[in-house]
Amino acid sequence: MFYEMRTYTLHIGKMQTYLKHFEENGLPVISRYATLVGWWYTEIGELNQVIHIWAYESLDDRIRKRAALYQDPDWLEGFVPIAFAMLEKMESKLLIPADFSPIK
């Protein structure tokens, strides 16, 4: 299994709006292409961040599915224009579980 951890820093005051928009307009679309492992937001430390982890079978699987997502009109027209306007910064890390990790 292969995981991607994404951390988005939102503009101040946009957390609740972003969460609602993602739940209603983003999650239904991206769920066609990736498996959500978990979704969190910060309240201590660096604030205004959402962290989400997605599972893929392999790096090739991730590349193929993300390419398909980026062609989906529901994503491009229904989610991205509103969501991306609320983002200050985006970060993506590809995570590969160690042999001893309980999550594989």
Question: What predicted TM-score, i.e. pTM, was given to this entire model?
Answer: 0.91
38 domain-assigned = yes
Q: What mean pLDDT is reported for the chain?
A: 96
Helices then strands (H, E): number in the chain? 5, 4
Per the structure, the count of domains in the chain is 1
pLDDT digits (tens, 9 = 90+) for 65-97: 999 999 999 999 999 999 999 999 999 999 988
The answer to the question of residue 72 being in a domain is yes
Task: Place 1 in a pLDDT band, splitting at 50, 70 and 90.
Answer: confident
CA 13, chain centre distance (Å): 19
**Domain annotation covers residue 102:** no
- What pLDDT is attached to residue 45? 95
- Position 68 in a domain: yes
Count the neighbouring beta carbons within 10 Å of the beta carbon of residue 25. 17
Can you tell me which residue has the tokens 């959500």?
A: 36
**In sequence order, which ranges of 8-76 are alpha helices (DSSP H)?**
15-21, 27-30, 59-69, 73
Residue 103 confidence (pLDDT): 85
CB-based contact 6:54 (threshold 8 Å): yes
Domain CATH for 47: 3.30.70.100
